[in-house]
Amino acid sequence: MWFSTLLPFVTLALTFTSSASAQDFDIGELERKPLVTSAALQRRIHRDNLLRHARNFQHFAEQTSKTTPNRAFGSVGHNSTVRYIKKLLDATKFYDTQLQTFPYTYAEASSNFTANGVILPTKSLFYGISGDVTAPLFATGNLGCVPEHFPASVEGKLVLIQRGDCIYGIKVALAGAAKAAGVIIFNDVPAELSGGSLGGVSRPEGPYVPVGTISGTAGLDLQARLAAGEEITGVLKAYGLVEERYSSNLIATSKQGNKNQIVFSGSHSDSVPGGPGINDDGSGTMGNLETALQLTNFRLNNAVRFGWWTAEEFGLVGSTHHIRNLPQSERDKIALYLNFDMIASPNSGFFIYDGDGDTFQRPGPPGSAQIEKLYEDYYKAKGLISRPSNFTGRSDYGPFLEVGIPCGGVFTGHEGVKTDEGVQWWGGQAGVVYDPCYHARCDTYENLRVETFETNVKAIAHSIAVYSMSLETIPFPRAASSISSRSADEKLHVETLTYEERRHYGCDHAHEVSWQ
C-alpha cells in the first residue's frame, strides 16, 4: 500500500508545474470565444456529465477496497480521483495545473468484541495495534494506572479496566508490560465511549496490546459476572493502521483573465476511510470539475482558480497547508473563496453559508454577505426556498476565513434532521437526516439526489460566471484592516490542534475527542 500509493505521486510531484506549457495556448482561438455569462455557462451544465464523473468516482473508491470502497487521502482511489481531474483539465489547455504534494499521518482503527459469544458494541482507539485475541476475561477492579494495578495473573488474559484517572495509553501500555493479551476499557458512565486515542504511537510504560472500548453498562455487567465466579471468554479483533502518506492538493488557475483578481472555488477530493464519499465530497468535487471544464468555452475577465483539497476529512489538512504556504502577496490576489462540500444530499435542503451572520452571528469577512445574497437571489429566481447555514469553519473555507478572504457557498445538509416545514420546502422525508449515508459505506453513486445536484452545480456556474465578469459587489482590493493581522509565522487556528482534535474538527460531529 505504501509504495503503490507513494510512487505515482513522486513521479507526478516532479512535474510540479503545469504539464500544459504556455506555448500550446492559442491566444487567437481564445479571442474568438464569447465572454462568459451566467446563463451561457449554466446552460452547459448537464446531469449526464455529472453522473459520468460520479460513476468514475465510485469505481475509484472500489480500486482502494472492494469491501470498504473509499477515497481516503493518499489511497489508490483518492490518487485516481486527483489524477482524473488533472488529466481532464490539462487536456483543455485552459488551465495551469499544479499538484501540491506533502506527507501527512494517516490513521485508522476498528475493533469488535464478543463475551462468551455475545457481541458487544465496541469502539476502537487511535494508535491501537492490530490483533486477534481469544482469552479469559479478567477484571482488575481498579483503574489500571500504575504497575501495581496489574497482578501477575493478568498474563495471557483479556483485561477489563474502567475508564478514568489516567489516559487510555497508560492503561494499555501497563497491561502490555504485565503481559496481558489485550484490554477492554469500559466507560465510567453508562453510555458507550465516543471513540478516542491512545495519545501517541507508543508509550514508555510498555508495549501496546490490542484494545477495544465498550459502554459503562456492559462493562459493569461483565465485572459483576466475573466477581460472581462466572468464566467468560472474550474474543477481541482489533485493527489499527498508522502511516505517513503522500497526497496532493490540485490547483488549477485559468491562463486567461486578470490574475490580480482571482475568483477561487474549492472542494475536497478525499473521502472518509469508511465510505466512497460520492456526496461528501464527490458532489462538490464533480461540480467544480464540470464547471471548470465548461468554463473553457469562454473568455474571462477575472481569472478563475479551482482547488481540490486533500485530507479535509482529517481536519482541513490540504486547504490549511495551501493557505499557510501562500505568501500574503498571493493571498491578496484572491478576491473571494467559494466552497462546495456536499451539494447532492439524498434528503436535501438548499443551504447557503451565513455570510452576513444574521442567523448564526458569525459573519464572514466583508464581501461574504454579498456572496450569500448572490445565492439567495439565485434560488429565488428558480422559485426555490433557501435557508442560511452556520459558518462553523468546519470545511475548507475555514483557513480562507481566517486570513480575511470573503467566503461563501451552498450545501445540502448532513447530520441535521429535516422538519415538516423542510419537507414543504424541499420535499423528501421529515424526521430523517439530510444525508443518512453521511460518512458511511452507503455514500455511493445511488446516494446522490440528482436534480438537487444539477441545480447546485448550476449555482456554482452562476457564481463563477458572475464574479469572473465583475467583482463590483465585493469590496476588493481589501482594506488593510479587513486583512488578518496574523504575522506570517503565526499558525492558523486549525494547525494548532492536535492530530486527534484536528481529525475530529474535519468530521464535524458534535462529540468530543477523549484521551482518558
Query: Looking at the annotation, which residues are catalytic?
Result: 312
The C-alpha cell that represents 248 in the structure block: 496532493
Q: Specify the residue, 281 or 500, whose C-beta has the smaller distance to Zn ion.
A: 281
The C-alpha cell that represents 329 in the structure block: 502577496
Q: Residue 184 CB, nearest distance to Zn ion (Å)? A: 33
Q: Residue 56 CB, nearest distance to Zn ion (Å)? A: 19
CA distance 171 to 161: 8
Q: Residue 305 CB, nearest distance to Zn ion (Å)? A: 20
Q: Residue 270 CB, nearest distance to Zn ion (Å)? A: 9
Ramachandran angles phi, psi of 235, nearest 5°: -120, 115
CA distance 96 to 331: 18
Q: Does 280 bind Zn ion (CB under 5 A)?
A: yes
For the chain, what's the residue count?
A: 516
CA distance 301 to 285: 24
Selected range binding Zn ion among 276-284, 349-357, 363-371, 397-405, rule: CB under 5 A: 276-284
Q: Specify the residue, 41 or 85, whose C-beta has the smaller distance to Zn ion.
A: 85
Selected range binding Zn ion among 79-87, 223-231, 278-286, 332-340, rule: CB under 5 A: 278-286
Q: Residue 312 CB, nearest distance to Zn ion (Å)? A: 6
Q: Specify the residue, 205 or 281, whose C-beta has the smaller distance to Zn ion.
A: 281
Q: How many residues bind Zn ion (CB under 5 A)?
A: 3
Q: Specify the residue, 281 or 402, whose C-beta has the smaller distance to Zn ion.
A: 281
**241 pairs with which residues across the strands?**
108
Q: Does 372 bind Zn ion (CB under 5 A)?
A: no
Answer whether 102's CB lies under 8 Å from 74's CB. Answer: no
Kindly state the helix (H) or strand (E) to which residue 452 belongs, with its residue range: helix 450-469
- The Cα angle at residue 415 between residues 412 and 419, in degrees rounded to 5: 75
Q: Residue 395 CB, nearest distance to Zn ion (Å)? A: 6
Q: Specify the residue, 245 or 439, whose C-beta has the smaller distance to Zn ion.
A: 439
Selected range binding Zn ion among 255-263, 274-282, 299-307, 487-495, rule: CB under 5 A: 274-282
**186 pairs with which residues across the strands?**
162, 214
**234 pairs with which residues across the strands?**
115, 135
Q: What is the DSSP code string of 184-248? A: EEE-SSSSPP--EE-SSS-BTTB----EEEE-HHHHHHHHHHHHTT---EEEEEEEEEEEEEEEE
Q: Is the dihedral of CA 359, 365, 366, 370 positive or negative?
A: negative
The Cβ-side half-sphere exposure at 137, using a 13 Å CA radius, reads 28
Instruction: Cis check for the bond before 477: say yes or no (omega within 30 of 0).
Output: yes
Q: Specify the residue, 290 or 341, whose C-beta has the smaller distance to Zn ion.
A: 341
Query: What is each CA distance from 60 to 54, 63, 104, 275, 304, in whole angstroms?
Result: 10, 5, 21, 12, 27
Q: Specify the residue, 315 or 422, whose C-beta has the smaller distance to Zn ion.
A: 315
CA distance 445 to 447: 5
Q: Residue 311 CB, nearest distance to Zn ion (Å)? A: 11
Residues 308-367 that bind Zn ion (CB under 5 A): 341
CA distance 426 to 429: 9
**98 pairs with which residues across the strands?**
251
Selected range binding Zn ion among 259-267, 275-283, 330-338, 450-458, rule: CB under 5 A: 275-283
Which of residues 281, 290, 332, 500 is near Zn ion by CB under 5 A?
A: 281
Binding-site ranges for Zn ion (CB under 5 A): 280-281, 341
